[in-house]
Every structure is written in structure tokens, then in C-alpha cells.
Amino acid sequence: MQAVWVEPQLRRYALTRPVLVLTSTRQTGKTSTLRRLFPHEPI
């Protein structure tokens, strides 16, 4: 299951905030989501 509903919000927040914190339980796709959204950023 992909976190599609949160992706537009993360992109919008990234435009105005220098740091994003994405928290959730283990193995829910946090890193995969961030890597997909921001492939050129160090994660």
C-alpha cells in the first residue's frame, strides 16, 4: 500500500520548510516514499 494521500502534502511542505519529519510505525514505507518523492536528496 502506498501513501498516495500524503505525497502532495509532503511536496507542498518541502517548498517552504527546510526539514521534513515523517514518522510512523516500522516497515510502513516511510523511506521508500521519501526516496520516490525526493530522489536527489540525501535520505
1-43: pLDDT as tens digits: 566 788 999 999 999 999 999 999 999 989 999 999 999 998 8
The Cα 7–Cα 4 span in angstroms is 5
Which of 5, 11, 1 minimizes the C-alpha distance to 34?
11
Q: What is the pLDDT of residue 43?
A: 80
Residue 28 lies in a domain: yes
Q: At how many degrees (to 10) do helices 7-16 and 30-37 cross?
A: 60
Tally of structural domains, the chain: 1
Q: What is the pLDDT of residue 3?
A: 60
Residue whose grid cell is 523511506 = 31
**Cut 0.85: pTM above it:** no
Residue 29 lies in a domain: yes
Residue 14 belongs to what domain range?
8-37
Terminal CA-CA length for the chain: 21
Q: What is the pLDDT of residue 2?
A: 60
- In whole angstroms, what separates CA 10 from the centre of its chain? 6
Residue 27 lies in a domain: yes
Residue 1 lies in a domain: no
